[in-house]
Amino acid sequence: MGKDQPLDEFALIAKIFAPLAAGNPNAFGLLDDAAIIPPRPGQDLVVKTDGLVAGVHFFPDDPPGAIAQKLLRVNLSDLAAKGAVPHGYVLTAAFPKDVALSWLEAFAAGLAADQAEFAIQLLGGDTLATPGPLTLSLTAFGHVPAGSMIRRQGAKPGDGVYVTGTIGDAGLGLAALKAETLQLAAPDTAFLVERYRRPRPRLAFGQALRGLAHAALDVSDGLVADLGHLAGVSGVRVILELAALPLSEPAARWAGLETGRRLRLATAGDDYEIVFAAPRAMEPRLAAAARSAATPITRVGTVEAGAGVAVLGTGGAPIPVAQGGYRHF
Amino acid sequence: MGKDQPLDEFALIAKIFAPLAAGNPNAFGLLDDAAIIPPRPGQDLVVKTDGLVAGVHFFPDDPPGAIAQKLLRVNLSDLAAKGAVPHGYVLTAAFPKDVALSWLEAFAAGLAADQAEFAIQLLGGDTLATPGPLTLSLTAFGHVPAGSMIRRQGAKPGDGVYVTGTIGDAGLGLAALKAETLQLAAPDTAFLVERYRRPRPRLAFGQALRGLAHAALDVSDGLVADLGHLAGVSGVRVILELAALPLSEPAARWAGLETGRRLRLATAGDDYEIVFAAPRAMEPRLAAAARSAATPITRVGTVEAGAGVAVLGTGGAPIPVAQGGYRHF
């Protein structure tokens, strides 16, 4: 109690984490108690925090770089859905006492690669020792022009409902990692596992959505559940057409047009795509934004007056979904 | 994996955490993916993150409200030492699966009481289930006039070294909780345990220190270790006089003028007082600031050219301290 570190915390910070903060002078080389985010006139700071626990949100023997990148990207995915430009992040990491230096180096290398890709830096953090599983929390910061953050609230009857990319890959990747037999070829399985392990936040497209979308969020709990959140906060009803669900080739090979399998993909979670509602009249501008961000988008449903989520099977008939949404637990 | 909650996460957020966010419209009732911190022209945002693990940083059977307040206050203490005015916080909480609703309610009540005391709100967060111990991470935000955050770096030869309040109480409180025999009366022990459990961030005084102190940080690792950080980053040597250490009455009853006991108090940690370096010529202004913030301050040493920390025993003679500082592990 009070004496808490298996490694020398200061050496750990200096060797592993301080290099990740070197690109931002307001992180003070992690040698101060706090970092600074200077004001940007006319810009709101968007703040998102999300954590992961080994054995709950990832496998303890996942590659450390992929764990680091998943942690960062699930947060960047939220910033993307809000239309924000990433600025930086702080990290709290509770490491098991027996964590190896090589593991930490690979973890930091994953962060370093993503920092370069997304043009952000580590601003600060805290390292702890835990007798329990590796537990990570990350708070990400981004900027939007003041008042322009895309909310969950705001979908309107008549809007189209759209998703980026493809849905359900990560869920199948997780199933494969859990040794479920999917009867897919090895390259298909590898693709799906990679989609599970390393989400791709749709940042460029999310920024282009500002002013076009009425409401948006990222797909983390599962498309049906996340549409339930959107419907609930917006006070509308969402119709989801499973026949329109955009699938990757591996997922399409697995699901075909079977309603049950497509429903599973639409409730699997961990997609980290953006789902959004926008006026149908915006479709030409949405298509242009999708092209310029090199991000495919697909209309998967519509917004109506009412409440909850209605799911239409591949034949077009409504299918029962508990409480108009799916819940994790 | 991917399915992660023992409680219904949405009910938990709505019932326990959303009321804590009700006071700030930019938290969106915790119903969105992110919160907003609007820009304050001419103000830097100060960001601090710190975590706690049950069984490492607090006792699992500590009162839940006290755990919540310790988590919040250790972060506010950093903001205090940086001269910042608190704005709000985000929280990641990984709860054991068997956490009781009554425990969560008491935890939230602790946060609510502190939110009222410190005029802040919860802005967002993430709740997780863990098979391990309760693990908490909090990121706190505050504001300072741009460029005026008090750094660790900047102490100069000739400066006095000062601390707020009293030193060593929390360490004795922890010892008492661990059933060490201190031969103190019950009220003394209760006072020391309270000092361990519920630090009092020196916010008003920290804000008054802007422009007066050359360097500051809060005392968390132990006064000697934290002076080592200040000396290292500032490139100076600090002389600490144990005879000058400000002690509470219970700690003074325990330590008297024994050098060994005073050294233990100066290395015990968890004080969450502010230690700072300032020109001796500032002493009248420091005294006025201390009076107006109702915060006692004491000069405990001086800054010299050189490196490391030298500790003088109560007789005035230097005493050996490993590496000029004390380390946790």
pLDDT at A194: 95
- Could you tell me the pLDDT band of residue B109, with boundaries at 50, 70 and 90? very high
Residue B6 has pLDDT above 90, yes or no: no
Partners of B3 on chain A (C-beta within 8 Å) are 269, 328-329
**Closest of B91, B93, B95 to residue B130, by C-alpha:** B95
Round the average pLDDT of chain A to a whole number and report it.
Answer: 94
Q: Do B91 and A49 touch (CB under 8 A)?
A: yes
Q: Nearest CA to CA, how far is B59 from chain A (Å)?
A: 8
* CB–CB contact B46 A32 (8 Å): no
The whole-number average pLDDT for the span B304-311 is 97
CB spacing of A132 vs B178 below 8 angstroms: no
Q: Is residue B310 part of a domain?
A: yes
A82 touches chain B (CB under 8 A): yes
Residue range B259-281, pLDDT digits in tens: 999 999 999 999 999 999 999 99
End-to-end CA distance of chain B: 33
B300 domain-assigned: yes
Q: Which pLDDT does position A321 carry in this prediction? A: 85
Predicted-assembly ipTM surpassing the 0.90 threshold: yes
Number of domains in chain A: 2
**Do B133 and B258 belong to one domain?**
no
Residue B70 belongs to domain with CATH number: 3.30.1330.10
Q: For residue B1, what pLDDT is reported?
A: 42
CB contact under 8 A, A53 and B132: yes
Are residues A129 and A268 located together in one domain of the fold?
Answer: no
Last residue of a domain, one of A145, A178, A200: A145
Give chain B's mean pLDDT.
94
- B75 vs A321: which has the higher pLDDT: B75
Residue B167: CB partners within 8 Å, gap ≥ 6?
B219, B223, B245, B246, B247, B251, B265, B266, B271, B273, B300
* B249 belongs to a structural domain: yes
Question: DSSP string covering B223-289, please?
Answer: HHHHHHHHHHHHT-EEEEEGGG----HHHHHHHTT-HHHHHHHHT------EEEEE-GGGHHHHHHH
B221 near A CB under 8 A: no
Packing angle between helix B186-197 and helix B64-81, nearest 10 degrees?
60
> CB-CB: which of A44, A126, A233 is closest to B36?
A44
B127 lies in the same domain as B167: no
Q: Are residues B121 and B250 located together in one domain of the fold?
A: no
Q: Is residue A295 part of a domain?
A: yes
Confirm or reject contact between A328 and chain B (CB < 8 A): yes
Same domain, B167 and B91: no
Domain boundary, last residue among A145, A174, A190: A145
pLDDT at res. A323: 52
- What is the CATH classification number for the domain harbouring A244? 3.90.650.10
Which pLDDT band, with edges at 50, 70 and 90, does B326 fall under? very low
Residue B326 falls inside a structural domain: no
Domain span at residue A20?
9-145
The answer to whether residues A167 and A274 belong to one domain is yes
Look at residue A266 and tell me whether its pLDDT is greater than 60. Answer: yes
| Structure tokens that stand for B190 in this block | 């209760």
Q: Are residues A229 and A135 in the same domain?
A: no
Say if residue A116 is in the same domain as residue A165: no
What average pLDDT score do residues B242-268 get?
Answer: 97
- Same domain for B140 and B196, yes or no, is no
Last residue of a domain, one of B103, B118, B145: B145
Instruction: Give me the mean pLDDT over the A84-88 stretch.
Output: 98
Considering the domain boundaries, does residue B1 fall inside one? Answer: no
**Does residue A2 sit at the B interface (CB-CB below 8 Å)?**
yes
Same domain, A90 and A218: no
Q: Tell me: do A186 and A281 sit in the same domain.
A: yes
pLDDT bin (cut points 50, 70, 90) of residue B128 is very high
> Has residue A155 been placed in a domain?
no
Asked if residue A301 lies in contact with residue A239, where contact means CB atoms within 8 angstroms, the answer is yes
Average pLDDT over residues B101-127: 97
Are A9 and B131 an interchain contact pair (Cβ–Cβ within 8 Å)? no
User: Helices B101-118 and B64-81 meet at what angle, rounded to 10?
Assistant: 30
Are A91 and A131 within one domain?
yes
Considering the domain boundaries, does residue A329 fall inside one?
no
Q: Per-residue pLDDT for B295 more than 90?
A: yes
Query: What is the pTM assigned to this prediction?
Result: 0.94
A-B C-beta contacts closer than 8 Å:
258
Which of A177-186, A219-228, B215-224 shows the lowest per-residue confidence on average (mean pLDDT)? A177-186
Q: Which has more confidence, A98 or A217?
A: A217
CB-based contact (8 Å) between B125 and chain A?
Answer: yes
- If pLDDT is split at 50, 70 and 90, which confidence band does B10 have? confident
